Amino acid sequence: MRAADRHDVIVVGARIAGAATAMLLARQGVRVLVVDRVSFPSDTISSHQLQVPGVARLRQWGLLGRLTAAGTPPVRQVRLDVGDGLVLDGQFPAYGGADTLLSPRRTLLDSVLVDAAREAGAEVRENFRVTQLTTAGDRVTGLRGSARGGPAVTETASLVIGADGKRSLVAGAARARRYRERPVRSFASYSYWAGVPVSGGELYQRPGRAVAVFPTNDDLTMVYVAARMTEFALARADLEGHYLRALDLCGDLGERVRSGSRAERIRTTPDQPNAFRWPYGPGWALVGDAGVVMDSVSAQGMTSALRDADYLSAAVIAGLGGRRPLDAALRDHHSRRDRAIRGMYDFTLRLAALGPVTSRERRFLAAVTADQHETDRFLGAFAGIVPPEQYFTLGAAVRILGPRISRDRTAALARSSERALARAKVSAR
C-alpha cells in the first residue's frame, strides 16, 4: 500500500461486480473509492435472474434479507419445456445454504450492494465519469475523471479495478488482451407484465428461440425472448411483433401474457459479445463483465460477477496485505477465474446457437424426466449449480440411459448422447 494515496484501491463501476468488490475489500479494512457515472437506484439492460449460487453469496454476505424484505419473490420450482410435449418440471438443488433463484430488479439489487459498500466504509462517488487512467511507465497509478459539471480531478491508488462492464474503459486503457472471443450469437428482448399468472420459473426451447418467464418485484413478471442474431435485421422492423410471436410458440404463454398488461417498454439488445479479457496487469485488474462477458441466454452474468468479486477481493487482500506479492496473487486469481467460468462459457455459447433439439437429445431428456431426482440435477446443471462440464459427461449418460436399453446400445447411445450433450442446444434460461 502506498501511504501517499488516499485510497488503496479505486473501483470503476458500482453495479454488481464493482459494488460487491468494493464492499468485500472495505470490510477487510482496505481504503476503497468506488465511482460510477450514474447515480443509484439506476436500471440497466439486464433481465436479472440471480442463480442459486449467486443467492448463496448474498446470503453469506448478509444481504439476502434486504432483497426479500423488498418483496423479491423466491423461485424454486422451474419448468423447462423443450417442445412436442417434453417437459422437465422440478426444483433447483440447494447450494451453499440457498435453494431458490431470485430475480431482483437491478434498481434494487445494485442499490443494496452500493449501500453495503458504503456501510463497509468504502467512499462511493456517484455521477462521476472516468475519462482516462494515469500511468508511470507501464504501471497504472490512478485515474482522471469528473463529477457531473465539475472540474477534472486525479485520484491515485495502488490498484485500479475496472468493474465498468463489457465496454470497459479500464480494459481499453490498460490494453487488456482478449481471448476466447466468439461472434455475437443472439439478440434479446424482454419486458415486464402485470397480471400474468405464473407458479414458478418457466423456460421454453423452440427452434431459433429461447424464452424465460420469472416473477420479479412489484408483482410483475419478467418475460424474456432470445432469437438468433441472423434474424435481427429482419426483426427490427417489428420488434414487439417478433417478441409476441415467440411467446405464441410456447403453449398458452402468449395467451397468458396478452391477458395481462405490459407495465414497461420492451427492451431489445443485440449487444451481446462473448469474450474473456486478461484480468490484471501492473496497477490494474478487471472484474465482472469487464473481465468475461457472455450471451445472456444462460442468465449467468450476475452470478459470475459475484463469484469474480469474491475471488478477486481475496487475491487483492492477500496481495495488499503482504501475504503474497500482488502480481502473484492476481496471477492465481486469473487461473481460478478461468477454471470457474470456462465450462459455463462454452455451454452458454452452445445454447446461444438456439439449435433444434435432436432426436437423441430428446431421448436423453425423456430418460431424465422419468426420475425426479435426475430432473432436479439436470435443472441444476442448466442453472450452473452443478458445473455443466461436471454434469454432461459420459458417466451421466450411462447412468441415465443405462437401465433402459441393452449394454451395447447403452455404450453407443452414451457416446452419441455425449456428443449431443456437448452441443447441448436446450436453453438454460
Ligand X SMILES: Cc1cc2nc3c(=O)[nH]c(=O)nc-3n(C[C@H](O)[C@H](O)[C@H](O)COP(=O)(O)OP(=O)(O)OC[C@H]3O[C@@H](n4cnc5c(N)ncnc54)[C@H](O)[C@@H]3O)c2cc1C
Shortest Cβ distance from residue 50 to ligand X (Å)?
6
Those residues whose C-beta lies under 8 Å from the C-beta of residue 426, and which sit 6 or more positions away, are 80, 82, 205, 351, 357, 361, 365, 382
Q: Is 299 in the site for ligand X (CB under 6 A)?
A: yes
Of the two residues 272 and 274, which places its CB atom closer to ligand X in the complex?
272
Member of 9, 11, 12, 102 binding ligand X (CB under 6 A):
12
CB under 6 A: which stretch of 113-121, 299-307, 365-373, 381-389 binds ligand X? 299-307
Among positions 304-343, residues that touch ligand X (CB under 6 A) are 305
CA distance 134 to 139: 9
Contact 113, 122 (CB under 8 A): no
Shortest Cβ distance from residue 55 to ligand X (Å)?
11
Among positions 71-100, residues that touch ligand X (CB under 6 A) are none
Shortest Cβ distance from residue 160 to ligand X (Å)?
11
Of the two residues 314 and 405, which places its CB atom closer to ligand X in the complex?
314
CB-neighbour burial class of residue 234 (10 A; exposed 0-12, middle 13-18, buried 19+): exposed
Q: Is 154 in the site for ligand X (CB under 6 A)?
A: no
CB under 6 A: which stretch of 45-53, 191-199, 201-209, 233-241 binds ligand X? 45-53
Closest to 287 in 3D by CA, of 383, 173, 160 = 160
CB under 6 A: which stretch of 44-52, 57-65, 340-348, 408-416 binds ligand X? 44-52
Member of 289, 361, 376, 418 binding ligand X (CB under 6 A):
289
Contact 38, 148 (CB under 8 A): no
Buried b (16+ CB within 10 A) or exposed e, 89-110: ebbbbebeebbbbbbbbbbbbb
Q: Are strands 201-206 and 284-286 parallel, antiparallel or unpaired?
A: unpaired
Contact 12, 164 (CB under 8 A): yes
Contact 193, 223 (CB under 8 A): yes
CA distance 111 to 36: 12
- Cα→Cα distances 240→48, 207, 265, 272, 409, Å: 20, 19, 10, 19, 47
CB under 6 A: which stretch of 39-47, 119-127, 229-237, 247-255 binds ligand X? 39-47
Contact 51, 384 (CB under 8 A): yes
Member of 30, 80, 130, 315 binding ligand X (CB under 6 A):
130
Give the ranges where 105-238 is alpha helix by DSSP (H). Answer: 106-119, 169-173, 232-235
Among positions 251-280, residues that touch ligand X (CB under 6 A) are 269, 272
CA distance 367 to 28: 49
Member of 8, 9, 22, 36 binding ligand X (CB under 6 A):
36
Mask for 166-195, x = binds ligand X (CB under 6 A)? ---x------------------x-------
CB under 6 A: which stretch of 12-20, 94-102, 336-344, 394-402 binds ligand X? 12-20
Q: Is 111 in the site for ligand X (CB under 6 A)?
A: no
Task: Indicate the SS3 state at residue 150.
Answer: coil
Shortest Cβ distance from residue 80 to ligand X (Å)?
15
CB under 6 A: which stretch of 58-66, 118-126, 302-310, 365-373 binds ligand X? 302-310
Q: Is 16 in the site for ligand X (CB under 6 A)?
A: yes
Q: Is 142 in the site for ligand X (CB under 6 A)?
A: no
- Per CB under 6 A, residues contacting ligand X are 12-13, 15-18, 35-38, 44-49, 129-130, 163-165, 169, 188, 269, 272, 288-290, 296, 299-303, 305
